[in-house]
Structure formats: structure tokens, C-alpha cells
């Protein structure tokens, strides 16, 4: 059973979307994404001198009439897309509760998965957790497999700390085909940590998109004024501070700076970036914000 935001109308509108890639992909079957290989699509790619055995149907007779040399027309090959959806399932995604942060993040991932499945492309869900097993789903294809995606996600409970780069590395060991990687995480980690992780993905020649998911309580913490002992949900580290309006203001400025740093890195690295605060409407985010950043075409 699909979660509540996935109404029939929403699903219909998702079906009209297609993921956009900035790179050529290596698919396994004919599809709608351009491949670096030459193939049989309608999109002209290049000329090549005729050599015996070439299909004479692709001879360009106009060129022959002008140059009396035989050239065959080459066309782009269009293949299907392999999409890797990385979903952060660390302890921080359960703040203030799994329903308020992890569920909206997983719904975003499911919406993206549905877009992929509806286009008969392949999608695979990866969970970013502190585990050497690097849990991941098999590749799903066909829109009916959205239920499998939902089942996979619904069995996850976010917990534990996360070494972002290490976890991605574990997953990348099992990825053999380039495609599109979409990461849904809060990115509440040091800049060096997420930069190492994203650079790893770039090294794998993946087309990357980042969806930073934050809860409203993280954007605007509603702590009562006074002394506060804050406890890190992942590392169990504790710090004590005096919460005040000034500190809230300073925290928000620090968060803005952190997000801007992430956004700048993504921009410089050719990565799609979007921020999703979980009190926003999912359909509005998926159908308006993500197309606006160029994730869909």
C-alpha cells in the first residue's frame, strides 16, 4: 500500500515526468537516454567512411553526390537509465521523529523511484547506515515495482551514526553500471565528509543529485530559553549551552552557511541540489521545485 501522499493524481503527474541526466549513460536496453555508443536512434551523431559490411541504408547519398566518397550516417544509441537512490537512514533522520523526517525523505525517494519506474528504467534503493552490509534493494523496473520499493523502505528504521563517504564507498563497490545517483540526506555532517562522499560518486562517473532533507525543528529549533544539554542522536555526544534568542539566531545563520556551502559545492561539481524542509507539501516539492532545478525534463 502506497503512503498517503501518493494519491492517484500525484502518481499521474509523476508519470508525466522524466529524469534528466547531464551525462550519457550506459543502459542495457533501448531506452530514452542517450548513450555514448552509436546506435539506431533517430538522433544523428556523426559520419564515418563506408567500409564493406556496413548497412547501405545508412549511406548518405548527398555526400556521395558532392564528393564521390561513400559515408555512412551514425546515430546516437538511446538506452534505459539506471538510477541509484541513496537514502540516509542514520540516527539523525529520526529527529524529532522518524515520521517527521525519515518518512518525508523516503517519500521523496519513492516519488523519484516512481518517476524512474514509470519510464521503464531501473531503480535501486541504497540505505546509508553504519553497516558493512550496505543494505540495498535489487534493481526494480516497471511501475508495479513501486510496491517493492515501498516495502523495502518501510522496513527501515533510522538509527546509528553515519560515516557518509565510507558508507557510499561500500555501496559503490557493488555498482558496476554508470547512471544517476540521487542522495536524500540531511547532510548534517562536516563539509569535508560530504565532499569526500560526493567526490566518490563523481569518480564513478555518476550523474548526481542531492536532496537535502531537514525537519522544521532543525531549521528553527524550539528549545525553551535557558541551560540545555544537547545530545547528538548519532554520536551520543553531549554539549551544554545556554539557549537564547541570540543563540537561535546564530544557529540559523550557521545552518544557512552550512547549506550554502553544500549548495556551492554541488553547483561547482555539477550536482543538482535542492533543500526539502519536511513541513512542505511533497507533491509541490516534487512537481515544482525539482523540475525547477533541472532534475526532470
Partner 1 sequence: MEFLNPAALYAALFLPLLLIPYLIRGRPRRQIFSSLILLKEFASRSSGRTWGRLYLPPIFFLQLLLLLLLVLALGEPVFSIRPVKIAIVLDNSASMQALEGRKSRFELAQDEVSGILRDLGARSRVDLYLLVPRLERIGEEAMAPSKAMALIRTLSPYDLGDSAVNYGGRFSSLVEEKGYERLFFLTDHPVQGQGGVIKAVSLGGPKDNFAISSLELLRSSFISSQLEARVEITSFASREGKMKVTLKGAGKILASKAITVVPGKVATTSFAGLPPHPYYEAEIDAKDALALDNHRFAVPSLSADLKILAISPRPQSLASLSSIPGVTLKVISPEGYAKSEEAQHSLEVFHFSAPSVLPHHHALFILPPKDNPLVAEEKSLSRPVISFWRDPHPLTRYVNFALLRPNYARTLRPLSVGEPIIQSPEGPLAIAFESQGYRYLVLGFDPFPYLGRQNLPVSIFTLNLLSWFYEGRGGSSLPTGEPLELQDGTLVTPKQDRFQIKKGSPLFSRTFYQGLYQVTRGGEKEWIAANLAGAKESDLNNPVPVDLTGEASRPGSRSSLFSLWPYLLLLSILLLFLEWYFNPPVTQS
Contacts to partner 1 by CB under 8 A: 91-93, 95, 101, 186, 188-190, 215, 218, 221, 223-235, 237, 239-242, 244, 247, 250-251, 254-255, 258
DSSP state of 130: S
Q: Which is nearer to partner 1, 22 or 254 (CB)?
A: 254
Rounded Cα distance between 180 and 159, Å, is: 26
* Residue 108 beta carbon to partner 1: minimum distance, rounded to whole angstroms: 17
Rounded Cα distance between 8 and 203, Å, is: 39
Q: Which is nearer to partner 1, 237 or 281 (CB)?
A: 237
Q: Which is nearer to partner 1, 97 or 205 (CB)?
A: 97
* Residue 190 beta carbon to partner 1: minimum distance, rounded to whole angstroms: 6
Strand partners, 6: none
Rounded Cα distance between 146 and 106, Å, is: 12
Nearest in space to 111 (alpha carbons), one of 295, 267, 254, 247: 295
Q: Residues near 290 by Cβ (< 8 Å), separated by ≥ 6?
A: 211, 274, 296
Neighbour order of strands in the sheet with 207-214: 140-141, 122-128, 82-88, 180-185, 207-214, 272-277
Give the chain's largest Cα–Cα span.
Answer: 87
* Residue 237 beta carbon to partner 1: minimum distance, rounded to whole angstroms: 6
Q: Which is nearer to partner 1, 101 or 126 (CB)?
A: 101
Radius of gyration (Cα) for the chain, nearest Å?
Answer: 23
* Residue 180 beta carbon to partner 1: minimum distance, rounded to whole angstroms: 27
* Residue 253 beta carbon to partner 1: minimum distance, rounded to whole angstroms: 10
* Residue 98 beta carbon to partner 1: minimum distance, rounded to whole angstroms: 12
β pairing state of 140-141 and 122-128: antiparallel
Q: Which is nearer to partner 1, 154 or 244 (CB)?
A: 244
C-alpha cell at 45: 551523431
Q: Which is nearer to partner 1, 56 or 230 (CB)?
A: 230
Burial class of residue 7, CB neighbours in 10 A (0-12, 13-18, 19+): exposed
Q: Which is nearer to partner 1, 139 or 243 (CB)?
A: 243
* Residue 261 beta carbon to partner 1: minimum distance, rounded to whole angstroms: 11
Helix (H, G, I), strand (E, B) or coil at 254: helix
Q: Residues near 261 by Cβ (< 8 Å), separated by ≥ 6?
A: 191
Q: Which is nearer to partner 1, 37 or 252 (CB)?
A: 252
* Residue 251 beta carbon to partner 1: minimum distance, rounded to whole angstroms: 6
Amino acid at each position: 500500500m502506497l503512503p498517503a501522499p501518493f494519491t492517484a493524481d500525484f502518481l499521474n503527474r509523476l508519470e508525466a515526468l522524466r529524469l534528466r541526466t547531464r551525462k550519457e549513460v550506459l543502459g542495457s536496453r533501448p531506452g530514452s537516454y542517450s548513450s555514448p555508443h552509436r546506435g539506431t536512434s533517430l538522433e544523428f551523431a556523426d559520419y564515418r567512411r563506408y567500409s564493406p559490411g556496413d548497412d547501405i541504408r545508412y549511406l548518405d547519398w548527398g555526400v556521395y553526390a558532392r564528393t564521390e566518397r561513400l559515408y555512412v550516417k551514425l546515430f546516437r544509441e538511446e538506452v534505459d537509465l539506471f538510477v541509484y537512490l541513496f537514502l540516509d537512514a542514520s540516527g539523525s533522520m529520526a529527529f524529532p521523529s522518524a515520521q517527521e523526517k525519515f518518512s518525508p525523505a523516503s517519500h521523496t525517494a519513492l516519488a523519484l523511484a516512481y518517476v524512474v519506474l514509470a519510464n521503464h528504467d531501473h531503480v535501486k534503493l541504497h540505505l546509508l547506515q553504519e553497516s558493512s552490509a550496505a543494505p540495498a534493494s535489487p534493481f526494480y523496473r516497471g511501475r508495479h515495482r513501486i510496491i517493492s520499493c515501498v516495502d523495502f523502505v518501510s522496513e527501515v528504521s533510522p538509527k546509528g551514526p553515519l560515516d557518509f563517504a565510507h558508507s557510499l564507498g561500500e555501496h559503490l563497490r557493488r555498482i558496476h553500471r554508470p547512471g544517476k545517483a540521487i542522495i536524500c540526506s540531511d547532510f548534517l555532517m562536516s563539509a569535508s565528509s560530504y565532499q569526500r562522499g560526493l567526490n566518490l560518486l563523481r569518480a564513478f562517473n555518476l550523474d548526481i543529485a542531492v536532496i537535502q532533507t531537514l525537519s522544521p525543528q532543525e531549521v528553527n529549533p524550539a528549545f525553551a530559553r535557558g541551560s540545555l544539554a544537547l545530545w547528538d542522536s548519532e554520536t551520543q555526544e553531549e554539549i551544554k549551552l545556554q539557549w537564547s534568542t541570540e543563540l537561535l539566531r546564530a544557529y540559523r545563520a550557521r545552518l544557512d552557511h552550512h547549506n550554502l556551502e553544500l549548495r556551492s559545492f554541488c553547483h561547482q561539481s555539477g550536482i543538482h541540489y535542492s533543500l526539502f524542509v519536511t513541513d512542505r507539501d511533497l507533491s509541490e516539492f516534487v512537481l515544482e521545485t525539482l523540475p525547477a532545478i533541472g532534475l526532470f525534463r
